[in-house]
Chains A and B, each alone.
Chain A
């Protein structure tokens, strides 16, 4: 059991290139499930590898359990990692794969067997599978063996690098909840890397959003969704993504699709103080409410995606001709080509600085 701390941790791959991880500050509490999420090239995997000791630091430090481990070799950090491609040893049986780390620690054979069996039971791995080679296993079973290899060690920290990305969609959803449940039961601090924001939101106690090597925001899934600190987080978290529209500022608000969206006085003051003439409005698809012709935001439906419970409307707005996505009830959505109107609650509208992307909060 241990907390993990990144202090100004930096990694530079090439001299002239921008850092892969740029002065990362992150506190992970004991027993916490922390998800690092971001698009490819955001530095999330590099950050994880720095914690594993597989990537040296060019600045700052990494701590595990209040001890600086920046220069401690991977094997002495008391961590276990699950790799994207599982990285099982093909010539060893499942049991040997899971017990290899214990063998390296000179744990006696009986004890090793007992712990391997325990881990296998925890993961619903059949005893019969223990004598097989990884080649003879299905993708899902291999994934569980990789998990098992980490669990057997009873480490202080679990590191997981996109462990679900090689599974098919259905198995991924199933395994997702199993991992979250297992982590809760074992209570071991976990750092989990993914590019999939749904995984991040459903699994993490807290989620750290990275982009271009920089930490954008680290908070609970709810807070990330309700209170994104900038345009990047707002656009990255949530599916379908938040509608972001650059709009001109007018008296009392911002002009969008033939109407004025009222903005709180504090936002207007902040915008005028910054000398802005326009700003970026962010509205989540579910906050565009269909209004039977009585709403102010006008548009034309281009495409309807039926999801069952609800439907996604791809709408071309009046005036700006930009496209937005609106979530509507699944029964009787408007037909493509139909003119529609929406209304929004002023509280549901986010405002961002058009250049810096920072949130202009009320």
Chain B
């Protein structure tokens, strides 16, 4: 018995190398993970500090935690969070409503010049948004949509649509051709084919697409800041507004940022399983 064990055991130097390899990759994974997580952790910790303890050097690790900053945040964030919720959900729904048929027309039954269409959609993302903010402002002014939530919904839809079309299209390309042919033989028309056959199959992909749209719309600041004041001010604007002209604000800002990131983290956590399946759909047969 011991003889067998001795024979099957890896020789010393090789065992050491194999172990070093595992440990090495482990360290890399942890370092990268911590590098991403540490600032977030720092933000959350700071949110619980009294303002006086937040900005000291060296940083204080012993302090009496307080909810004072959160109380302050919750007292003022009402309208902002409602605007953000409306802009995010409505724009994401619109993106899906328009993006799914568009992706279908560019993949399953490609229309004429589908390549050009596809390129056109993504080309709108190549232009820096700063370059169009002037014209956007003038247009918004003329159609009386400045400082309106509808303007943000419109812009966020336009902003996320190209990405959504590209993503959904790539998922649709994964749907086996035989299944679509079976649907055609079964008598499903274009709409039935899309809603009853394709969409259930790519639903994980749709969830991850929606989630990415939610994240981008939720965190968008530039457009909101330049095109709205109070009637459509979103949560990122609330974060900026918590920076006062003078005095200490780091703890307050941290609390506001923490609160602002909770919904996205929550949605992501709920959608986690679909997200992983959706983003790696190409690998699954």
Contact = CB atoms under 8 A, between A and B. Distances in A.
Interface residues of B, number: 17
Interface string A68-108: 00000111000111011101111110000000110011000
A81 B185 contact: yes
B201 A90 contact: yes
Contacts of B184: 54, 73-75
User: Which DSSP category, helix, strand, loop or mixed, fits chain A's interface?
Assistant: loop
Interface string B201-245: 101000000000000000000000000000000000000000000
A89 B200 contact: yes
Interface stretch (B6-14, B105-113, B174-182): B174-182
A75 B187 contact: yes
A89 B185 contact: no
Contact of B197 (A80, A81, A83, A89): A89
Interface in B246-276: none
A52 interface: yes
A89 B179 contact: yes
A81 B186 CA distance: 9
Contacts of A85: 176, 178
A79 B185 contact: yes
B239 to A, nearest CB: 41
Nearest to A106: B187
Contacts of A88: 179, 182
Contacts of B90: none
Contacts of B188: 75, 100, 104
Contacts of A149: 182, 186
Nearest to B192: A104
Nearest to B199: A91
Main secondary structure, interface of B, reads helix
A100 B178 contact: no
Contacts of A73: 184
Contact of A74 (B185, B196, B197, B203): B185
B188 to A, nearest CB: 6
A52 B188 CA distance: 15
A52 B176 contact: no
Interface string B187-198: 110001000110
Contact of B201 (A52, A79, A91, A105): A91
A100 B184 CA distance: 11
Interface in A249-307: none
B186 A104 contact: yes
Contact of A84 (B178, B187, B200): B178
Contacts of A89: 179, 182-183, 196-197, 200-201
A73 B203 CA distance: 29
Contact of A87 (B182, B192, B196): B182
B200 A91 contact: yes
Nearest to B181: A54
Nearest to A90: B201
A14 B197 CA distance: 30
Contacts of B196: 89, 100
Given A89-B183, A104-B192, 9 more contacts: A74-B185, A81-B182, A84-B178, A87-B178, A87-B179, A89-B200, A100-B188, A100-B196, A149-B186
10 pairs of A and B residues whose beta carbons are closest in the complex: A91-B200, A104-B187, A75-B187, A87-B178, A101-B186, A87-B182, A87-B179, A83-B178, A74-B185, A100-B186
12 contacts: A52-B181, A53-B185, A74-B185, A75-B188, A83-B178, A87-B181, A89-B183, A89-B197, A89-B200, A92-B200, A101-B185, A149-B182
Interface of A: 52-54, 73-75, 79-81, 83-85, 87-92, 100-101, 104-105, 149
